[in-house]
């Protein structure tokens, strides 16, 4: 038996998210189809995170068990020959049999890209949120500080979540600006359903001067999704990194 860990990169534009769904193309579905072509048997994969429709990944981690002896290099090369061009296996390795891509993750880092200009960019329309209002990044940074730490993030959770608790700990939340681009990076062990996109939508409202920086603290404490800003669109969101113990 071998437990194989894959690092994936994908453009989520054409997919209805990570998880398999009937009648919709998904990343998991395409990967498991490629695995079937390689192993000639049905193989189910475990993913570190379930990205939503239209969301991209710089590093998605998955693992699967196989009883067939095969080298990681063969797995990587073969899968990339079977997968669509917008999904790629960046690396493959054998890990301990008890490794689980989801449960063993120490943290997840997401990034969000905003294109802040009066004119949209045809080149970045599939990979960023075009916001034509002039955003005050300093106000957005001030507001973001209220979200760092362990809190009840009910105000930033979308309907449809199956999470047993809305308590999450945000370890880092940083914003950078370069030219027309605003980058947001957020790190936590886990996130609620659409939590990052709801945080981004709220911070954009702060940047537009629609709500004050200090109101974000009140929104957090309200534990009411209706108090927060709109949900940012999916195309600006990226799963950037999954952290694991050094042994894997």
Tokens of 123: 């080149």
- Out of 52, 136, 218, 224, the active site residue is 52
Among candidate residues 77, 106, 71, 104, the one with its CA nearest the CA of residue 90: 77
Helices (H) and strands (E) in the chain, counts: 5, 10
Residue indicated by tokens 């905003």? 114
The C-alpha R_g of the chain, in whole angstroms, comes to: 19
Nearest by Cα to 112 from 214, 162, 208, 187: 187
Close Cβ partners of 98 (under 8 Å, ≥ 6 residues apart): 3
Q: Are 144 and 229 in contact (CB under 8 A)?
A: no
Question: Catalytic site residue 86?
Answer: no
- Catalytically annotated residues: 52
């Amino acid at each position: 038996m071998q437990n194989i860990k894959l690092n994936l990169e994908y453009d989520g534009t054409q997919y209805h998210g990570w998880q398999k769904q009937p009648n919709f193309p998904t990343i998991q579905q395409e990967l498991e189809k490629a695995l079937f072509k390689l192993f000639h048997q049905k193989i189910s994969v475990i993913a570190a995170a379930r990205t939503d429709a239209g969301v991209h990944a710089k590093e998605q981690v998955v693992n699967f068990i196989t009883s067939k002896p095969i080298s990681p290099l063969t797995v990587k090369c073969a899968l990339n020959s079977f997968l669509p061009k917008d999904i790629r296996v960046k690396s493959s390795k054998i890990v301990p049999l008890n490794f689980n891509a989801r449960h063993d993750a120490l943290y997840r880092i997401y990034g969000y890209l905003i294109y802040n200009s009066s004119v949209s960019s045809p080149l970045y329309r599939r990979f960023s949120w075009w916001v034509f209002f002039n955003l005050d990044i300093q106000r957005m940074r001030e507001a973001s500080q209220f979200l760092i730490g362990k809190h009840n993030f009910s105000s930033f959770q979308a309907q449809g979540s199956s999470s047993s608790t809305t308590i999450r700990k945000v370890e880092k939340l940083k914003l950078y600006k370069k030219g027309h681009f605003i980058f947001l990076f957020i790190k936590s062990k886990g996130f609620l359903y659409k939590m990052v996109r709801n945080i981004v939508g709220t911070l954009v409202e702060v940047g537009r001067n629609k709500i004050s920086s200090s109101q974000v603290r009140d929104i957090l404490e309200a534990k009411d999704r209706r108090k927060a800003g709109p949900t940012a669109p999916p195309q600006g969101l990226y799963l950037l990194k999954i952290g694991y113990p050094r042994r894997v």
